[in-house]
Amino acid sequence: MSARRCCAFFLVLLPAMIKANCKNWCEGHAAPDATKCNWVNCNSCAACEAVNCVDNEAPLENWAITTCAEHYEKGNCQQDWFRNKGFCRKTCGQCEAVLQSQCYEVFEVDEQWGTRYSTGYSQIRNPHYSGMVAAVHNSQYSMLEIGGNATPGVKQISEFGNGRRLSDEIIQAKPNTLDPLHYGLTIGATNIKLGEATLDSNHTYVSMIAMIAPSPDWSIYGHANLAPNGAFVDSLDVDMHLIDAGSCDIPGVDGFAFCGGRHGTTEPIFYRKSPITGPGVGDDEKRLFMKIRFKKASCDGRRLSATRSGLTVEVMV
């Protein structure tokens, strides 16, 4: 390979080799965006796409159509030969920001079933939680809605503690979701690390559910947006409240062998406030069982597929 061809090849690969960054301090820095977007620590902030997204018009010589608007009307924006030259990126809508990923350590904190709700807890033999299923998603996906009916997956984990069908539902909801995550929960935990979770700028929400057992169809559920203002938070505790899936197809379970008159019926999901918690808690208060803490961590060595300028690259984050 000639020196000229080698250099050209390197220049093509260089953008994909640059680490994508947008530190928390970038947005508030006094420097203009055009300057900050050339800094290693700020090169992929949202404002940089506007700075870098410009129309590189096709050369005038020997071109019957000379403006980007005319090329757009002609349909050239969809032609590979036109896109690969990088012409008219802004007019053709080919400017897409590099996805930003953020890794979080996940902790179970302040578990309080046996302490806060000791009366109801003492009536149960072998109280425990099922494995927790978590979805990382955008605003278009919903694991469940209070007042809505449970999906087959939510019903299965709430009645049997089996998260397989819910995991399948999460996968089937792509591209609104990422792959489902699974964690084990512990009664009495005050601060136990469960694992890690990686979100990206297109999937900033988390929704989590685990069965409390034994029970007819009761689970703890929580959800949150970890980038409420467009930037990932450093740390967030997500409340896990007791819910009733409203399904109750189980004729009886040890400790709570009843579904009343609603056995085999379906009703909307609601916040369960008794009898699992026992007396002594306000009737209108949602029952908090634990918190799931998300704490920013390093994502060194993880790969995230990203798109910029119509080209898919692998960005180290």
**C-alpha closest to that of 276 among 289, 261, 263, 290:** 289
Rounded-to-integer distance, Cα 153 and Cα 157, Å: 6
* Coil, strand or helix at 79: coil
pLDDT in tens, 142-152: 999 999 999 99
Domain-wise residue ranges, the chain: 3-98, 102-297
Rounded-to-integer distance, Cα 172 and Cα 179, Å: 10
pTM of the complete model beyond 0.75: no
Residue 290, strand partner residues: 240
Name residues whose C-beta falls within 8 Å of residue 14's C-beta, 6 or more positions apart in sequence.
Answer: none
Residue 82, strand partner residues: none
- Residue-level length of the chain: 317
- Ordered DSSP codes for 251-305: S--TT----GGGTT-----EE--SSTT-SSS-TTS--EEEEEEEEEE--TT-EEE
CATH superfamily of 102-297: F-spondin domain (2.60.40.2130)
Structure tokens at 286: 């949602």
pLDDT in tens, the chain (317 residues): 544 444 444 433 444 444 567 787 887 787 776 677 778 788 777 666 555 666 766 665 556 666 788 888 888 888 877 777 777 877 777 765 556 789 999 999 999 988 887 766 667 788 899 999 999 999 999 999 999 999 999 999 999 999 999 999 999 999 999 999 999 999 999 999 999 999 998 899 999 999 998 888 899 999 999 998 888 999 999 999 999 998 765 554 433 444 544 445 568 898 887 655 554 445 457 889 999 999 999 865 343 333 333 333 333 33
